[in-house]
Structure 1
Amino acid sequence: MTDDAYLFLVGDPATPLGASVAVVKDLGCLEMPAVRAWLDAHGVTAASPGVRLLPPEETGAIPDDAEKLPVPLTDEELSRLRHALMPGALVRVEDELLAYRDCAGERDALLARAAAVGVPPHRIVELTGEDAGTVASATRGQGRPSDPVPQQG
């Protein structure tokens, strides 16, 4: 396995291997002189249907005789590539997981902010569904010290 994604050519555009560069969109690597030279050498453009892209973990599927070029992708570009290769249901679930991560990553700050403006800890527990211990830990030093956090049971 390599750390680079690969651009490669397929002889038949109906081949299901890889993602079309046009589907992934806005790839910074397409501006690299080496990539432009590779495309020119093969008489294709990035929009050509036979130009495909695979993420690092799948490059072993590229046929040995295929013309290929390693290309660096940003994390965001790699995520778009992986989504382009997934069935729709998996993409939706991954999007939900990313939204959860983004929300959960701000959890402690949100809990502390709620306590700082006066939301009682027991109400934070009710509204968020978070464990009372989690709320107590995140809100320590916020709100009124006389507000106990009830234990759920």
Structure 2
Amino acid sequence: MTDDAYLFLVDDPAVPLGASVTAVEDLTCLETPAVRAWLDAHGVSATSPGVRLLPPEETDAIPDGAEKLPVPLNDDELDRLRRALMPGALARVEEELLAYRDCTGERDALLSRATAAGVPPHRIARLAGEDARTVATAAAQGQDRPSDPGPRQR
């Protein structure tokens, strides 16, 4: 196994191995001279149906003798590649988990800002769907931060 993903060519585009580059979208490696030269040398474009991509943990599945090129992908690109290879329902659940992570990543800061703005804790808990203790903890932590203005004085 390698740490790089691999671009590779399949003779028959109906072969269900790997993900098409178009399914992954926005790969920075496609702009590198090495990838451009490899594509040119094989007379294909990145959008050709026979150009496929596999993540590092699956590169052993590339057929012997297939034309291949290691390509470094960042974490976001690898996540997109792995989701492109998953069954649709599983990929949708992963997308939901990512959306949840993104919206909750700033939860404590938002709860603290709401407290600082003067929104009553019981109202914050109801609107945010959080437990009152969670709101109180986030508000207390926000008061400890020097950059947080803390609760508004009345």
What interval of TM-score do these two structures reach, taking the shorter chain for normalisation?
0.7 to 0.9
What are the superposed Cα offsets for residues 85-121 of structure 1, whole Å, 9 maximum, x if unpaired?
A: 1222122211111111011110001100111111122
Q: Is the 8 A contact 1:119 1:143 kept in 2?
A: no
Q: Is the 8 A contact 1:22 1:47 kept in 2?
A: yes
Instruction: Report the counterpart of residue 44 of structure 2 in structure 1.
Output: 44
Instruction: Report the counterpart of residue 133 of structure 2 in structure 1.
Output: 133
- Matches of residues 98-113 of structure 1 in structure 2 within 5 Å? 98-113=98-113
Q: Secondary structure of the residue that 1:65 maps to in structure 2? A: coil
Instruction: Report the counterpart of residue 20 of structure 2 in structure 1.
Output: 20
What are the superposed Cα offsets for residues 12-57 of structure 1, whole Å, 9 maximum, x if unpaired?
A: 1110001111222232211211112222222222122111001122
The CA deviation at 1:9 is 1.0
Distance 2:137 2:152 in 1: 14
Q: After superposing the two structures, state which structure 1 stretch, 19-28 or 95-104, moved more.
A: 19-28
Distance 2:8 2:71 in 1: 10
Q: Does 1:89 align with 2:94?
A: no
- Matches of residues 51-90 of structure 1 in structure 2 within 5 Å? 51-90=51-90
The CA deviation at 1:77 is 2.2
Distance 1:81 1:102 in 2: 19
Distance 1:144 1:42 in 2: 66
Distance 1:30 1:19 in 2: 15
Distance 2:126 2:99 in 1: 21
The CA deviation at 1:72 is 1.1
Q: After superposing the two structures, state which structure 1 stretch, 18-27 or 125-134, moved more.
A: 125-134
Q: Does 1:33 align with 2:41?
A: no
The CA deviation at 1:137 is 1.5
CA RMSD in angstroms comes to 1.9
Identity %, equivalent residues:
78
Q: Is the 8 A contact 2:117 2:152 kept in 1?
A: no
Aligned residues: 145
4+ residue segments displaced more than 3 Å: 141-145
Q: Does 1:143 align with 2:151?
A: yes
Structure 1 unaligned spans of 5+ = 146-153
Distance 2:76 2:62 in 1: 23
Distance 1:6 1:62 in 2: 9
